[in-house]
Amino acid sequence: MLKLLGPRPPSSGYCDGVSRRNFLRIGALGMGGLALPQLLQAEQASGLRSAGRGHKAVIMIFLPGGPSHQDMFDLKEEAPAEVRGEFRSIATSVPGIRICEHLPRVAKQAHRYSIIRSMVGAEDRHDAITCHSGRHPRNQPPGGWPSMGSCLGKLLGPGDAAMPAYMGLAPKMGHVPWADNGRAGFLGAAHAPFEINKGGGQEDMVLQGVTLDRLSDRRSLLASMDRFRRSVDQSGAMDGLDAYNQQAFGILTSSRLVEALDLKKEDPRIVERYGKGDPRNRDDGGPKLMEQFLMARRLVEAGVRCVTLAFSRWDHHGDNFGALRQDLPLLDQGLSALIDDLHDRGLDKDVSVLVWGEFGRTPTINKDGGRDHWPRVSCALLAGGGLRHGQVIGSTDRLGGEAASRPVQFGEVHATVYQAMGIDVNKVTLPDLTGRPQFLVDNGIQPMRELVG
């Protein structure tokens, strides 16, 4: 396994005893784990790889714990005090659309995204499965449902042959299911995400000691690449490897992926726009890694088809408003910088950005000043992708507890993103482990007419 190690953050570790030493798990050369040669072979066999698909990609931003829809994108200012909360709404760039006062930068971009206020079909489960797959975790086929990133990797491959198709940036968390970058399901390990910031074992090879904080030193990096190549050649590990292993080795030692991950290659003004967060974990959730918004943009621009990340922790059973006063400004800065950046680079028609969590929060504020789990309705934000934006889709009742109009299933959002990627969910299928063709979304689900026309 080839890895790039990252620096230790200030905190010493996790409650599960796993070291917080960050790294990039780039792949495996026949030594277990994610087998990149299998990925390359599977993509060629499918006949679906195409270098002509440009930068078509998706960035999925998961908000672990269930964000409070009533305090972000669906404020109920006319509701009783025990429901409406402490925040007020502000106007956006689209007349009539109002969102939380702690999202002022995002408010100025309302013409560039759509808000879905009526997400339904969630379960009271603290995991990312439904967000990644668009399916209920019940009644799965053998092997399980694959995530969107795995499906895109299988169908389209990467936008650049030197890049993986699917990358996950979610950091380690005390509650492990929140750090799920997505699963390959019945598509197999060849289509699992390449993961960053996850710990590993002694059997993994380090890229000659090069760490993420040393990537700016190109001379040292290239010398380390040369040493790594020579050590492999001298050991004879490359002897007898087929063409797919040779190609995999070329990708793993290519500078393109390394450069995409090296934020020191970015314009300092752009880095400053994204801001700095907090690398420490909050309770059992994740840190606030602002650089991941920028890293996601760099990765899709370099050719990654799907990037997933998980930002902070949103399970606020107590002190809901105190926590949101800290987190919402950071989300506001990172998300707005990403949306602006994609537009400035002409990628807004090709790259979809999806922001959501596993469920919503209760209308009534509890005795601890928090909101509890509420799977009956939640919200989502969808930007880019060449879709029709500047609108709110669906509504909730006066207390924000039920969908009052246009309930939207998770699979509908997936179908919409697939269509933005040029994939017809009515025609494309993938065979499961029994050979049975499976559609990308549940039977009968269609792209959202409000967004695709």
Q: Which residue has the higher pLDDT, 251 or 371?
A: 371
Q: In percent, how much of the chain has pLDDT > 90?
A: 66
pLDDT at 79: 97
What is the model's pLDDT at position 288? 93
Q: What is the pLDDT of residue 239?
A: 54
pLDDT score, position 220: 57
Confidence tier at 399 by pLDDT (50, 70, 90) = very high
The mean per-residue pLDDT over the stretch 394-407 comes to 98
Assigned token pair, 263: 């934020």
* Mean local confidence (pLDDT), 281-295: 90
> Is the pLDDT assigned to residue 50 strictly greater than 70?
no
So what's the pLDDT on residue 2? 44
Checking if the pLDDT of 28 tops 90, the result is no
Mean pLDDT, the chain, as a whole number?
83
Q: With 70 as the cut, is the pLDDT of residue 152 above it?
A: yes
Confidence of residue 196 (pLDDT cuts 50, 70, 90): confident
> Which fold does the domain 54-202+256-452 belong to in CATH?
Alkaline Phosphatase, subunit A (3.40.720)
pLDDT of 46: 42
Q: Name the band, by pLDDT with cuts 50, 70 and 90, for residue 250.
A: low
- Categorize the per-residue pLDDT at 248 as very low, low, confident or very high, splitting at 50, 70 and 90: low
Q: Is the pTM value of this prediction over 0.75?
A: yes
pLDDT of residue 226: 60
Radius of gyration of the chain from Cα atoms? Answer: 22
Q: What is the DSSP pairing of strand 2-5 with strand 205-211?
A: parallel
* Structure letter (DSSP) for residue 359: -
Q: How far apart are CA 57 and CA 310, in angstroms?
A: 17
Lowest mean pLDDT, pick from 41-50, 89-98, 193-202 = 41-50
pLDDT higher than 60, residue 8: no
d(CA 228, CA 226): 5
**Residues 429-452 pLDDT 10s:** 999 999 999 999 998 999 999 999
Task: Give the pLDDT of residue 445.
Answer: 97
Cα dihedral 278, 279, 285, 291 in deg (nearest 10): 80
> How does pLDDT run across 343-376, given as a tens digit for each residue?
999 999 999 999 999 999 999 999 999 999 999 9
Task: Give yes or no for residue 246 having a pLDDT over 90.
Answer: no
| Cα atoms found within 13 Å of the Cα of residue 450, Cβ hemisphere only | 16
Over residues 161-186, mean pLDDT: 92
Give residue 76's pLDDT band: very low, low, confident or very high (50, 70, 90).
very high
Phi and psi torsions of 270, nearest 5°: -70, -45
pLDDT digits (tens, 9 = 90+) for 260-271: 988 999 999 999
Would you call 70 helix, strand, or coil by DSSP?
Answer: helix
> In the prediction, which pLDDT does 269 show?
97
Dist. CA 102–CA 409, nearest whole Å: 27
Distance of alpha carbon 341 from alpha carbon 275, whole angstroms = 13
For the cut 90, the answer to whether the pLDDT of residue 59 exceeds it is yes
Q: What is the per-residue pLDDT for 198?
A: 54
